[in-house]
Homo-oligomer: A and B are copies of this chain.
Amino acid sequence: MNIGEIARRSGVSRSTVSYALSGKRPVAAATRRRILEVVDELDYRPSAAARALREGRTRTLGLVIPPAGARLTSMQLDFVASVVEAAARVDLDVLLSPSGGDHDRSFDRLVTGQRVDGVVLMEIRLADPRVTRLEQAGMPFVTVGRVGEPDRMWWVDVDYATLIARCVHHLADLGHRHIAFINRSARLVAAGYGPARRAYQGFTEAAVQRGVIASEFCCADDASAGETCVAQILAAHPEATAIATINEAALPGVQRALERAGHEIPDTFSVTGVVASRWAEESRPQLTAADVPAAEMGATAVQLIMERIAEPGAAPKRRLFAPPISLRGSTGPVVR
């Protein structure tokens, strides 16, 4: 089934069918009606490949996700879902590329195979080679997170420094004087991973400001690392009464370890941080936390990439998200 067949059955030329469908040229009402009838009857839609070849654009977005090896966090999953949803709303398809390392064939295809009109790149690393490749190939892209020279780039990001500072203020308001901060992994911190570094900075600054005794702990991105980390915290800082974290994946372990140590959240120990709202709400007790607005971020990323595609030379745009803390059940006044 192709446009020639529709033309034949409608008794018009292929160009008229094309124009009737696109509306880019007036077509006599009767002709148009006849064509649309045939199109409906045969459930015809133009070949995406032929159209892409001719128009030089694919009406498709690439979404580069971390490879499955590292399981996606709830936050990341919500982001993926919202990108796909936002793209669908404007009739764009989304091609997924799981890629982390430097050599990845699916990423290669995305960049140089003209498969997509633009790319949304998740979980970028400091000095990410993929960013360089995208730039060299002249492919429009938007990153999730800042990297390299943020002023030159298009990105959306979470303002971890501000959010974690809000957590510190909230805890200080409740009377907590000794707060532990659970960061992402030591490897990531050592690599200068932006969110980890900025969160640490926001945490210490707020702690100094409030005269709170603060300590940082690095922790791998999984529940059992969270358990170990809490054990360390309780041993090294028995006077600590609260934990703030940006490490979503460690949280189940954090809660488990606190419970095992005989703590009741929030009666004898408070826990807060920056997490996806779905996580916060499914937790027991529900977490008081700065809810990362993953859905809004995904929609914004799509919005930005569309603007960049439409106007490649435009000045870079970006959006920094700093949602308020949602009060739920995991923080309370310090016990004396």
Interface residues of A, Cβ cutoff 8 Å to B? 43-50, 52-53, 58, 60, 65, 67-68, 71-72, 77, 81-82, 84-85, 88, 91, 93-98, 104-106, 108-109, 112-115, 136-137, 223, 252, 255-256, 259, 278, 281-284, 295
Let me know if A43 and B112 touch, CB within 8 A: yes
Besides A43-B112, A84-B96, A88-B97, 14 more A-B contacts (Cβ < 8 Å) are: A48-B114, A49-B49, A49-B52, A49-B115, A50-B53, A68-B82, A72-B77, A84-B98, A88-B98, A88-B104, A88-B106, A93-B109, A94-B96, A252-B283
Let me know if B88 and A81 touch, CB within 8 A: no
Partner of A48 from the list B91, B94, B115, B278 (CB cut-off 8 Å) is B115
Partner of A85 from the list B81, B98, B109, B284 (CB cut-off 8 Å) is B98
- CB of A211 to closest CB in B, whole Å: 34
- CB of A145 to closest CB in B, whole Å: 20
Let me know if A113 and B48 touch, CB within 8 A: yes
Collect the chain B residues with CB atoms within 8 Å of residue A65's CB. Answer: 84
20 sampled A-B residue pairs with Cβ under 8 A: A43-B137, A45-B108, A45-B109, A47-B113, A48-B52, A49-B52, A49-B53, A49-B114, A50-B53, A60-B95, A68-B82, A68-B84, A72-B81, A85-B98, A88-B98, A88-B104, A88-B105, A93-B97, A93-B115, A223-B281
Report if A109-B282 is in contact (Cβ < 8 Å); known contacts: A68-B82, A85-B67, A97-B88: no
**A108 to B278, alpha carbons, bound, how many Å?**
31
Let me know if B223 and A45 touch, CB within 8 A: no
**A109 to B43, alpha carbons, bound, how many Å?**
11
Collect the chain B residues with CB atoms within 8 Å of residue A48's CB. Answer: 49, 52, 58, 109, 113-115
Let me know if A112 and B60 touch, CB within 8 A: no
Collect the chain B residues with CB atoms within 8 Å of residue A77's CB. Answer: 72, 77
